[in-house]
Amino acid sequence: MNDIRFDGRVAIITGAGHGLGRSHAKLLASRGARVMVNDLGGSVDGTGSGSAAEDVAQEIRDAGGEALSHRANVTRADEVEDMVQQTVREWGKVDILVNNAGILRDKSFAKMSVEDFQAVVDVHLMGSMVCTKAVWELMREAGYGRIAMTSSSSGIYGNFGQSNYGAAKMGLVGFMNVLHLEGAKYNIRVNALAPVAATRMTENLMPQQALEMLTPEAVSAGLGYLVSEDAPSRVVLAAGAGGYAASKIYETDGIYLPPERQTPEDIAANFDAILDTSAQKEFQRGGEQGIKFLGKAAAALGVKLG
């Protein structure tokens, strides 16, 4: 197998001043990428600022790589646009975008303020949109792009006290699904990571022995493949402690009920059949669900569609 390299590629990585983002930046740079290291430099809850981005960029340069830094707030389109313009002025293009920036404001939903919910959604979901929008046309024109979202098991499966974070992270899966379809003909491939790693966000949640196994570098190995030349598209790659898996959404085949039986009572009576997974499928487009249901109805009613 050939080594995966990024010689001549230009990458922007958000939230790259610490943890996973720092590990992603160092990996891509070590394999030849020119990296724009983005980080506002704030604390885990998004407050404050600092020199984290430049510190990582200097690490990369000290190791013989090429890197710049920018402290753009990913929720502010003008700051993100300035970051992209600086990247293009220096290196002529943007090939790779890793949407990694994020904050935490964990509380049970009953105790969570609207402001804390909004702040987390703004950084994770809207920040990823703002950064992607800023490079999307460049990638379309170039006929090449690799974009990685950062999702989470907290969104895909749920996690107590993280309604804001979970909503944002599952929203990124939907965002990925649509951009995969819209970017395909321009050779833009869009994937997502669902990582488990020892970072500032998890250091108080797990025992030390577990944290020692959950290295950011193990997750970055998966990221490196997701943004490579031969990357897949529309994959949610779960990664942690050297384990790698794909998280997928399936839909059961379900049932058909004639009009006179389309009642809450009949749905309750047939719920086991609705939940039966024996013929479930992974759809590639939202319209496939409607086609399935219309096909069942047409077959039951003896109607020929089209």
Burial status of residue 66 (CB atoms within 10 A of its CB: 0-12, 13-18, 19 or more):
middle
Residue 157 is a catalytic residue: no
Which has the closest alpha carbon to 45: 112, 123, 113? 123
Cβ(239)–Cβ(232) below 8 Å = no
Strands of the sheet with 145-150, listed across from one edge: 66-70, 34-38, 10-13, 96-98, 145-150, 188-195, 236-240, 243-246
Distance CA 217, CA 222 (A): 9
Residues 6+ apart with CB under 8 A from 23: 197, 216, 217, 219, 220
State how far the Cα of 105 lies from the Cα of 220, in Å rounded to an integer.
24
The residue annotated as part of the active site, out of 157, 165, 244, 250, is: 165
- Give the burial class of 111: count Cβ atoms within 10 A of its Cβ; 0-12 exposed, 13-18 middle, 19 or more buried: exposed
Task: Retrieve residue 10's tokens.
Answer: 């230009």
Q: How far apart are CA 42 and CA 293, in angstroms?
A: 48
What residue has token string 């989470």?
Answer: 152
**Active site residues per annotation:** 165
